[in-house]
Amino acid sequence: MEGSAAWGALGPELPPLVDHHCHGVLREAPGPAGFEALLSESDRPAARGTTYFDTQAGFAVRRWCPPLLGLPAHCPPEDYLARRRELGEPETRRRLLRATGIGTYLVDTGLPGVLTGPRETADAGGGSGLEIVRLERLAERLAAEVMRGAGGASPAEAGPGASGEGAGGTRSGRGASREARRVPSGEVVPGAPGPVAGEGTGGAWPVRGAPREAVSRQGASEEAVSRPGTPRDAVSRHGASGKAVSRPGASGEAAEVWTARIAEAVREAAGSAAGFKSVAAYRHGLALAPDPPDRGEVTAAAARWLASGGRRLTDPVLLRHLLWLAVATGRPLQLHTGFGDPDLRLHQADPALVTDFLRATADTGTDVILLHGYPYHRHAAYLASVFPHAYADVGLAVSHTGPRAEEVLAEFLELAPFGKLLFSTDAHGLPERYVIGAALFRTALGGVLSGWVRSGAWSAADAGRVGALIAAGNARRVYGLGED
């Protein structure tokens, strides 16, 4: 990254960044409208007469990305997109990702579509990659297996709405704003579902079949194997005992099968994944009862869910059950908080709503990372300051606030202990999102720390040490990644 080693420009020299929360990028190049759509969290085209290039994220792309492709900074969007087409998607991806200074990618594989997985993303960037398993996605995939075993239509066969983060049931994974978006010209983002009937405005599964989000760290191709979070034996027609299960005919029996399989799958995923993620903030909101549900509650809720078709999981009992299954593994648990796609009800994603859950999990040995947080990022910082196992994340907010990212980062650092704040980009779809996430983080961190050093509040040595912790050290400790 330009100027990254100069204290006076972008702050202290940093180690290779650990992007502890990110997503794959498109393998196929989007058209102009599709590219623009991926600059925003919205699931709709920009207002008539406007463009998403006229946002802080759009300006950041034009500031940081053109020089990496041989163009002047701030060039017109059409010139930049033409250069992208000239280079082709693989070369564009390679140039952009290798300029970020990211050394480790922890990739949430819960998005559908033709996206790069952890290994492919990391290979393009010259780093290493591990998987973050999305709990709701795993639960829905297992429900589809159980439904097929019961002789009923699986969510994929029954139509759209099988999964998704939004309250409206219109999306899978991060939402139509990221992988199923319709754009003004009728262009569809590559790998996204087309216009189909179902819950809401978008399809839950890509029209070309089930999403390919598979990753293997044993050398097989990402397209051909199951990802570590969903091992084949975990989604086979076997229960936790490993004995063959007959085709369950009743929803109660199917619920027992699903309950056994999801517990087994989460345990097995913990053996290879870097951690887990929940999007309960989208599915229900974060005001969930803090304690684990009992077996009877889980079975009854699963029976109701499967009887209704086993589609998008919104039941608060099952969402709590997934959280506690993940907590029991001891692997870090990421929770979406704060802003995101428009189907999210923002007030229900305030990280302060997980206070009781943090109390309940305080002695479990499992760390909980509060993703994003904005505009409630000070709430996340407070929670990180009072619960030893709670951590805050700067991702997404920094990418969307442009030159104001320095103030946002400073607000995180008002209360968050310096060993409790983690860098991420929350990049998705476009490699440009990785570039601006890393660049804005570096400039914001450099501005904050340099200002405190100049004022005499901090020493340069302390500033350099804290910068390295936020950039990489804290994530390496929390996720057990070892020394770089």
Spatial strand order in the sheet of 368-372: 17-22, 102-108, 128-134, 275-278, 333-337, 368-372, 390-393, 421-422
Q: What are the beta bridge partners of residue 422?
A: 393
pLDDT digits 0-9 by tens, 98-142: 999 999 999 999 987 889 999 999 999 999 999 999 999 999 999
Residues 6+ apart with CB under 8 A from 436: 57, 60, 61, 64, 65, 399, 425
pTM of the model: 0.82
Q: Measure the CA dihedral 335/341/345/351, to 10°.
A: 30
Question: pLDDT tens for residues 274-318?
Answer: 999 999 999 999 999 999 999 999 999 999 999 999 999 999 999
Output 152 or 27, whichever has higher pLDDT. 27
For residues 77 and 53, give the distance between their C-alpha atoms in angstroms, rounded to a whole number. 8
Instruction: Return the domain boundaries, the chain.
Output: 7-478
Task: Determine the CATH number of domain 7-478.
Answer: 3.20.20.140
pLDDT tens digits, 417-451: 999 999 999 999 999 999 999 999 999 999 999 99
Please state the separation of Cα 227 from the chain's center in Å: 16
Residue 21: phi and psi, rounded to 5, are -150, 105
| Owner of token pair 């442009």 | 402
